[in-house]
Structure 1
């Protein structure tokens, strides 16, 4: 499975928004310039985050994006799902229904050991991302670098 670069851009943008003072917003163009990214494409990611309730946007000359809820309430999984969607990484097509000894009455998505193993792996991945918040990342950055980074 390969995630789009939009996930990385969204995660870094959200992390940077954790250091903004309350009530302040950052324009998409300024975030894009900070990372030397195409502004139009980053804006699409930010709009997806806004639709998911992760960021909010404020129009006007002092407008831009800010987190819509506290960093403690935004998981990495929230951001990934906002950008990539919530579909499982593996989709069982019930290949065993075409094999020898197949039983048309069996739901091989449930009975297939390959499908079960892939579902367990997907759940473990999702659990790991759901267990980490933006606040956790923010604390790790501050501990590692002993100061908050410069923000856009």
Structure 2
């Protein structure tokens, strides 16, 4: 399954927003700077996250983004759905009803076996994403990061957050 770059960018942005002190925010430009991303494209991902309630935003001088709920209440599936939408990755178009050996619509009483197999696989994938919270992902990162890198990040966040 291929997910867009927007999912990666949105998830990384959420991890940075989770590190913000309470009542602080980061602008879309600052988040784009942190990862050297195009700010206009990242802003679209942030807006999708805002519509999904994953982040909150404020306008004006010092405005920006912060998480909309605690990191332990945001799953990776929440982020994927915000960016990619809720539709399944595999969409059966019933091609078994086409061609010289086509099945009649009336004979298609059960779901297509191929669609069913892909549906089962996608459900396992979605369950794994639903089980992984942003908080648990950050805990893994902190456990694997060097203290120097964590200090660099904390300093940057302090400097850029308003």
TM-score (norm 2): 0.86
Query: Match of 1:95?
Result: 95
Q: State the Cα distance separating 1:96 from its structure 2 match.
A: 1.6
Q: Aligned equivalents of 1:129 and 1:107: distance in 2?
A: 32
Cα distance, 1:107 vs structure 2: 4.0
Q: Does residue 26 of structure 1 match 2:22?
A: no
Alignment of 1:116-131 (within 5 A): 116-131=116-131
Give me the whole-angstrom Cα distance separating, in 2, the residues matched to 1:121 and 1:98. 25
Shift of 1:101: 6.4
Is 1:8 the equivalent of 2:8? yes
RMSD: 1.7
Deviating above 6 A after TM superposition, structure 1's stretches of 4 or more consecutive aligned residues are none
Distance 2:37 2:59 in 1: 21
Higher helix share: 2
Pairing 1:1-150 to 2, within 5 Å after superposition:
1-98=1-98, 100=101, 102-107=103-108, 110-145=110-145, 147=147, 149=150, 150=153
For residues 136 and 80 of structure 2, the distance between their equivalents in structure 1, rounded to whole angstroms, comes to: 16
Deviations 1:97-140 (A, max 9, x none): 225362321446x4321111100011111111111000011110
* Residue segments in structure 2 that go unaligned for 5+ positions in a row: 158-162
**Structure 1: segments with no counterpart, 5+ residues:** none
Q: Distance in 2 between matches of 1:128 and 1:85?
A: 17
Q: Distance in 1 between matches of 2:25 and 2:75?
A: 20
